[in-house]
Structure 1
Amino acid sequence: MEIKARAPGKVILAGEHAVVHGSTAVAASIGLFTSCSLRFHSDSENDDTLKLTLKDLGLEFSWSVGRIRETLSHLGGPFPLTPTSCSRETIRSISVLVEEQSFPEARIELATGVFAFIWLYTSIQGFKPATVVVISDLPVGAGLGSSAAFCVSLIATLLAHSDCVSLDKNQQGWLSYGDSDLDLLNKWAFEGEKIIHGKPSGLDNTVSTYGNIIKFRSGNLTPIKSNTPLKMLITNTKVGRNTKALVGGVSERTFRHPYAMSSVFNAVDSISKELSTLIESPAPDVLSVTEKEEKLQELMEMNQGLLQCMGVSHAVIETVLRTTLKYRLPSKLTGAGGGGCVLTLLPALLSRTIVDKVKTELESCGFQCWVAGIGGNGVEVCFGESS
């Protein structure tokens, strides 16, 4: 039996960078997914390999299961119910397996994802020959939580083939895990994110696991229930950014101008809190929805101005802002800034013609655009016969 899982990416609606300095941030799942399928090899196939196929990138990696068992014999797993950090000994051993693979020079950043794959697979399923295929709507390194969605969708397939979660494998369509199973999955995903990013906040994997909208401050996560469907235009500037350097730049500016930057962070905190309250507020009629959307747009626009104060905008981000403002649609960067992606709230009554015009103009600048719902379901799985 083949199992598939899909996990959403994420955007930060308000509070990026300021959250590092104690302010509130608001993040949401988006209707763009990373999907993962898992099929164990049968005895009749005589295929003793573990294969990872990144379909969108046209890349495949494979290892002999015997080679993996020999290299990671000290693990003694699998231990699906016990998420643990990757030990230094295991890091050294997996590094050898990863270094045996060929990575295109332009894709060397994928090595940490492959590293996380080996660790998560062997920790949860041990040394079984299988083929894992990954397909994603999410661009890598654009601030949309692609690595977390990869970890969450992978772990969802691995746990579904274990005895430690409760799923009806005869049920058709996409299924959701129960709360306790999601908690286990999220802990594993955090371990995967630690391998890829070193010191992640845990926000990306949490949003990808549980979905919906989350308020985040000082490590505390609070779910937010939206009473109004929200839709965003997401524009990928295709300009890569160094998150660590951008975070460091904000810290340096804070050191040079502590009082001014403290006021900036306090303002961002107020915006995030007001935005989360507004999202939860009821909107019983069209007029109420329109007023709510206008207020959300204003808050996002104010947040963008404060991000510019922090020094994390970029010429390409400003190009997106100018373009969408022609159509009276304010925008803000999402994530680290310095490139990456930009968010534009699309009001419910906005015509499809205007949306298409905005997309066409942005794409003519070389950008990539999607329209996606905000705050939808988290990770889901489905079962089917192997082809």
Structure 2
Amino acid sequence: MERKVSSPMAPTFMVSAPGKVIVFGEHAAVFGKPAVAAAISLRSYLLVTTLTKSRRTVTLNFRDIGLNHTWTIDSLPWPVFHHASKKKFYYSVIHSLDPELLNAIKPHAEAVSRDLPEKQRRMHVRSATAFLYLFLSLGSSQSPGFIYTLRSTIPIGAGLGSSASICVCLSTALLLQTRSLAGPHPDQPLKEAEVQIERINHWAYVGELCIHGDPSGVDNTVSSRGKAVLFQKNTSGPSSVTPLVNFPKLRLLLVDTRQPRSTATQVGKVRRLKDSHPTTTGLILDAIGQLTASALELLSSANFNGNGTCDALDRLGR
């Protein structure tokens, strides 16, 4: 008798998240200055396919960067991640990565794309690290196999939040798979929706920590929430996030120079400059913060029409 082919344990589904542009406050946001960031129409998409019970593998297929790797679920370091002293839950609050957990997934992340040039391979390793950290933190060793297929219309390394958009997609998908999100639905209370958006945002930030080391958090915040936000990172405690519900639609010209930049590298340069010349750099960062506040006041005013008149532009920074 011919054996019947088993069916997947869950239906295929897709999530997506927008990229972002920092309208005001670029770089200064990392050092506690306010930044205004807005979502853009370019997005990332994540297709999640559940495999049959007999296929105990998880695949990350990020076609736009040429990353396609499969891990055996049972070979992953579940005992380390699920140890009583390390175990995280969907509601856990994480501000930094656990070095022991990073060391546990390092050989699994380092196994990807060994035949590629080192620069490209490092991008793959960082992506795999973020994925595995989230998958092992939120997933279960008893889960079925999955294929996570990523596509993005956001240029990589262009400062448009491509990694944050991808991390938001991964965070959302994994939280949905663990049934830690409800909705969205028409009758969902606003408070419940806010809690769930923040949950997505928090785990996306954990992914950003894996990729960038010390991100400001503004990219994943605006990608999670959409529209625009006023963001300010705090040195202790949660960052201040104010949704800008009345932020006007702006027609922005974005030019892709095709010269990729690493966020971690750029942040590191500013940090070294601040360490070498603290007074001068501090004044520059203060000026950026003042410009952000002035611009927000202008853009939020009732008589702003978005045409960028000269007298309006003259007010910026005053």
Instruction: Give TM class, smaller chain.
Output: 0.7 to 0.9
**8 A Cα contact 1:227 1:281, kept in partner:** no
Deviation (angstroms), 1:137: 1.3
Q: Identity over aligned residues, as a percent?
A: 27
- Which stretch shifts more, 244-253 or 219-228? 244-253
Q: How does 1:5-84 map to 2 (within 5 A)?
A: 5-20=15-30, 22-43=32-53, 46-68=54-76, 71-76=77-82, 79-84=89-94
Secondary structure of residue in 1 paired with 2:17: strand
| Aligned counterpart, 1:281 | 301
* Equivalent in the alignment of 2:104: 93
The one-letter amino acid of 1:27's match is A
Secondary structure at 2:81 match in 1: coil
Residue 130 of structure 1: how far off its partner (Å): 0.5
CA 1:23 to 1:75, structure 2 compared with 1: closer, same or farther past 3 Å?
Answer: closer
Q: CA deviation at 1:197?
A: 1.6
Query: Which residue of 1 is the match for residue 213 of structure 2?
Result: 198
Kindly state the Cα deviation for residue 210 of structure 1 after the two structures are TM-superposed: 0.8
**Structure 1 residue identity aligned to 2:80:** H
Structure 1: runs of 5+ lacking an equivalent: 172-176, 304-387
Aligned match of 1:232 in 238, 252, 271?
A: 252
CA shift in 2, pair 1:130/1:25, >3 Å: same
Q: CA deviation at 1:299?
A: 7.1
Task: Name 1:178's counterpart in structure 2.
Answer: 193
* Deviation at residue 91 of structure 1 after TM alignment: 1.2
Give the match's secondary structure for 1:233.
coil
1:373 is matched with none
Shift of 1:262: 5.3
Q: For 1:260-279, what aligned pairs fall within 5 Å after superposition?
A: 263-279=283-299
The alpha carbon displacement at 1:290 in A equals 5.1
Q: Matches of residues 297-336 of structure 1 in structure 2 within 5 Å?
A: 298=313
Shift of 1:264: 3.9
Amino acid at match of 2:260: G
Task: Give the equivalent residue in structure 2 for 1:216.
Answer: 231
Deviations 1:243-264, CA, capped at 9 Å, x for gaps: 1343135426744xx36x5554
> Which amino acid is 1:61 matched to?
H
Structure 1 residue 110 corresponds to structure 2 residue 106: no
Identify which range, 114-123 or 12-21, moves more after superposition.
12-21
8 Å CA contact retained: 1:225, 1:279: no
**Does the residue aligned with 2:178 lie in a helix, a strand or coil?**
coil
| Secondary structure, counterpart of 1:139 in structure 2 | coil
How many aligned residue pairs are there? 284
Work out the CA distance in 1 between the residues paired with 2:217 and 2:259: 24
Q: Which residue of 1 aligns with 2:175?
A: 159
Give yes or no for contact 1:50–1:65 (8 Å, CA) kept in 2: yes
Alpha-carbon distance, 1:155 to partner: 1.1
**Root-mean-square deviation over aligned CA pairs:** 2.9
Give the SS at the match of 2:124.
Answer: helix
Contact 1:72-1:94 at 8 Å conserved across structures:
no
Distance 2:161 2:81 in 1: 29
**How far does the alpha carbon of each residue in 1:279-322 deviate from its partner, in whole angstroms, 9 at most, with x for none?**
22235xxxx6254x33699479x78xxxxxxxxxxxxxxxxxxx
Amino acid at match of 1:99: E
Cα separation, partners in 2 of 1:265 and 1:119, compared to 1, 3 Å: closer
| Corresponding residue number in structure 2 for 1:314 | none
Alpha-carbon distance in 2 for matches of 1:31, 1:296 = 29
| Structure number having the greater strand percentage | 1
Q: Does the 8 Å contact 2:90/2:175 carry over to 1?
A: yes
CA displacement at 1:18 relative to structure 2: 3.5
CA-to-partner distance for each residue in 1:10-50, whole Å, 9 max, x for gaps? 1111122344555432111111111111121123xx32210
8 A contact 1:33–1:138 mirrored in 2: yes
Q: Which runs of 4+ in 1 moved over 6 A?
A: none
Cα distance in 2, alignment partners of residues 202 and 83 from structure 1: 14
| Cα pair 2:30 2:215 within 8 Å, conserved | no
265, 270, 284: which one aligns with 1:247 = 270
Q: For structure 2, list consecutive stretches of 5 or more residues without a partner in the other structure.
A: 1-10, 187-191, 235-239
Match of 2:159 in 1: 143
- How far apart are 1:227 and its partner, in Å? 5.0
- 1:186 deviation in Å? 1.3
Give distance in 2, aligned partners of 1:209 and 1:152. 6
SS of 2:79 mapped into structure 1: coil
1:104-163 Cα offsets, whole Å, 9 max, x none, are 224122211111101111221223311000001122222111111111111111111222
